[in-house]
Amino acid sequence: MGTVLVIEVDPGAHPAGVDGSSADERMWQTVVAPRMALIEDLRDDPERITSLIEHTNVDPAATDAEIRELCAEVREYDFRSAVVVPYHARLADELLGDHANVVVVVGFPYGIQNPAAKRAEVEALQEYADEFDMVMNRTAFATDDHETVVEDVAAVNDAVGGKPLKCIIESPALSAAEIRRAAELVERGGADIVKTAVGYDGATNPAEVRAIRESVSDETGVKASGGISDFEAALEMVEAGATHLGASSGVDIVDSIE
């Protein structure tokens, strides 16, 4: 089931660290082994994928009824969270309570708002949101204004007050080198998790997830989002390094498990 994760590690290829372990050994202990264990767990018990899924409806035309359906599915399938736009944050919080997290998008969908505007958005949502998914300032990144990219994330990170912060870099619109650079910048700004995409520029592929995973520290998570519609695709993202999965097709992913 799924593709086979192949990670070549050459023990002793790098100088030993202060604890006597090589860089490859430390990578194995902190990154590779846990990921392989998770993949094996998912193969043995595929329904555990629900604990990684952030069930999503960020359609600007979504109705209250559709958000009620989203949250009912989160409760029924034990998804990790519901992801909604700010307008629906209060409703999602009322519907989910302590059952699952409410994730609210900030600076959506292009990240072009200035840091003060994003901070104000976060502050207005603190009562209802457990986590925030912000969008990197894509205009600043496109003009190589890396300082603004970092400062923008740092401003939002300060406003969230210790709640998990994900930052969307819209990887389908970037080259491999740009993905790596963007991931490094938003991590520097304080993002806990680097998220691939809003989805407006096409589906995410495993290579994008892998590029992010290789560009950030072990402590930083990776959220794959955009075009994940069945269990095999979800497993591929985990194999590539995803720790979280964003999908509007959460139910389809579970229903596709054989």
CATH assignment at residue 209:
3.20.20.70
* Residue 223 annotated as catalytic: yes
* Residue 133 annotated as catalytic: yes
- Listed in order, strand segments (DSSP E) in the chain are 53-57, 81-84, 101-106, 131-135, 165-168, 193-195, 221-225, 244-247
- Give the residue numbers spanning the domain of 39: 11-44
| 119 lies in the same domain as 168 | yes
Q: Check if the beta carbon of residue 10 is closer than 8 Å to that of residue 16.
A: no
Considering the domain boundaries, does residue 68 fall inside one?
A: yes
Does residue 81 carry a pLDDT above 50? yes
pLDDT bracket for residue 23 (50, 70, 90): low
* Residue 195 annotated as catalytic: yes
Q: What is the pLDDT of residues 142-177, one digit of tens each?
A: 999 999 999 999 999 999 999 999 999 999 999 999
| 107 lies in the same domain as 141 | yes
Q: What is the pLDDT of residues 201-225, one digit of tens each?
A: 999 999 999 999 999 999 999 999 9
Is the four-CA dihedral 60, 64, 66, 72 of positive or negative sign?
Answer: positive
| 34 lies in the same domain as 119 | no
Of 93, 118, 166, 195, the catalytic one is 195
Binning the chain into helix, strand and coil, the percentages to the nearest 5 are 50, 15, 35
Of 93, 118, 133, 166, the catalytic one is 133
